Amino acid sequence: MNPHEEKRIIQWNREFSGDIELLLHLSDDSRSEAFSRYCAEFTALASQVRILDGSASERPSIQIAENIRYSAIPEGPELEPFLQILTMKADDLTILPGPIRQQLDRLDTAQEITLFISQQCPHCPVSVRDLVPLALANKLVTIDIIDGVLFEELAQGNNVECLPTTLVGNDFRWSGITPLADIVEVITSKGSSELSATAIERMLEERNAIKAAQMMIEAGRIHPSLFDFMVDERFFLRLGAMAAFEEIIRLDPALATEITQPLWERFERAIEPMQIDILYLIGDAGTPEAIPLLESVIGGVHREHVKETAREAIESINARK
């Protein structure tokens, strides 16, 4: 650490009241040496902090609390949020907006959140400050902070393409600074029916369309926002919605029959590429009752390639009959 960081730790130690214990978990990993050296330097400057030997681990880390693990060396921009976390833990102080705290109080299942950061990332400290209070407020929330540059193999194994990246279990991910309300909504929801349109949008944006579809199948209901995203001007949302519908059609044909009418209601106000996607889905999921709708496209004023898609949709429905 540099002289400025040393001075900041000394200042923090003077202002800090009480003692705090941290666990240092080491492994055979060569990066353990850097963690040991940092902790020794830190405690030499912060006399009220004790570092205890933790258990052998698959990777080195500093355990701040039972449900907060820091697989990163808090230097540079990451020092300040690290000190703030220690203060909040020692003072049993959690600063969260009232609505978010109320949502967290309803949480009744364990949630694992992984945050990938780096010391060079200007936005990562914000994500650390936002997320860690969730674990301090509710012990069912586990936060694992990982330096995605130091532990590059973990970042690659989790398909992390930018920093910060937040993962909830194996199902949800957000890239960049994410509104805390979005993350809390996901970890406290019981299924897709409780999610907002914004949450579904973020799932599609982060290429979680398949998971979104599976949640809707489990709920037995297609989220209304999915139909709107089929006619959204943003291509990535249309692509994600298309993938979700295809997964629903593949896994739950009965539920998929419910997509015809909502999609048809959006057909006329859609541009041609959207219309072709809608016709394609109706052909894959529709029942014979959808054929008159498709025939009206063939007999209408649409261009020939749109009419051809309608003919193919009818053939697809008849083939399933």
pLDDT-based confidence at residue 57 (cuts at 50, 70, 90): confident
Q: In Å, how far are 37, 72, 150, 291 from 120, measured between CA atoms?
A: 20, 12, 11, 57
SS3 168: strand
Looking at the structure, do residues 253 and 182 belong to the same domain, yes or no?
no
The pLDDT assigned to 19 comes to 84
| Domain containing residue 26: CATH number | 3.40.30.80
Q: Is the pLDDT of residue 14 over 80?
A: yes
Task: Say whether pLDDT at 12 is over 80.
Answer: yes
At 95 the pLDDT is 76
Q: Do residues 291 and 302 make contact, with C-beta atoms less than 8 angstroms apart? A: no
Which is more confident, 283 or 179? 283
pLDDT of 194 higher than 80: no
79 against 54, higher pLDDT: 79
**What would the pLDDT profile of 207-217 be if each residue is shown by its tens digit?**
889 989 998 99
Q: How far is CA 157 from CA 27, 120, 274, in A?
A: 20, 21, 35
- Pair 147, 32 in one domain: yes
User: Which token pair is 135?
Assistant: 């674990």
**Same domain, residue pair 137 and 217:** no
Residues 254 and 176 in one domain: no
Final residue of a structural domain among 188, 216, 231: 188
Report pLDDT digits (tens) over 63-111: 999 999 999 999 999 999 999 999 888 776 667 888 888 888 888 889 9
Same domain for 131 and 253: no
The Cα-based distances of 11 to 82, 83, 169, 243 in angstroms read: 14, 11, 37, 53
Q: What is the mean pLDDT of residues 25-35?
A: 93
Provide mean pLDDT across the span 1-24. 90
Residue 96: its pLDDT value, please? Answer: 83
Q: What percent of the chain has pLDDT over 70?
A: 98
Structure letter (DSSP) for residue 191: S
Number of domains making up the chain = 2
pLDDT(198) > 90:
no
* Residues 274-318 pLDDT 10s: 999 999 999 999 899 999 999 999 999 999 999 999 999 999 999
Q: Range with the lowest mean pLDDT among 16-25, 224-233, 294-303?
A: 16-25
Task: Answer whether residue 190 shows pLDDT above 80.
Answer: no
Look up residue 121 and give its DSSP letter: -
Residues 44 and 151 both lie in one domain: yes
- 305 CB contacts (<8 Å, ≥6 apart)? 272, 276
User: Which percentage of the chain shows pLDDT scores above 90?
Assistant: 68
Q: Give the H/E segment covering residue 62.
A: strand 61-65
- Per-residue pLDDT, 172: 82
Please compute, for residue 175, the number of CA atoms within 13 A of its CA located in the half-sphere on the CB side. 13
Looking at the structure, tell me whether residues 80 and 209 fall in a common domain.
no
Residue 92's pLDDT is 65
Beta-bridge partners for 167:
114, 173
Contact 104, 137 (CB under 8 A): yes
Q: Are residues 43 and 157 in the same domain?
A: yes
**Cβ contacts of 205 within 8 Å, gap of 6 or more:** 236, 237, 240
Cβ contact 176:115 at 8 Å: no
Where in the sequence is the domain holding 251, given as residue range(s)?
192-320
Rounded to whole angstroms, the Cα distance separating 11 from 51 reads 19
Q: 268 and 229, same structural domain? A: yes
- Same domain, yes or no: 145 and 243: no
Domain end point (choices 149, 166, 188): 188
Among 146, 164, 188, give the residue marking a domain's end: 188
The neighbour count for residue 55, using CB atoms within 10 Å, is: 9
Instruction: Tell whether the model's pLDDT for residue 33 goes beyond 90.
Output: yes
Residue 182 has pLDDT above 90, yes or no: no
The pair of three-digit structure tokens given for residue 204, joined into one six-digit string: 């599609």
Q: Are residues 166 and 244 in the same domain?
A: no
Same domain, 197 and 180: no
Confidence at 155, pLDDT banded by 50, 70, 90: very high
135, 142 contact by CB (below 8 A)? yes
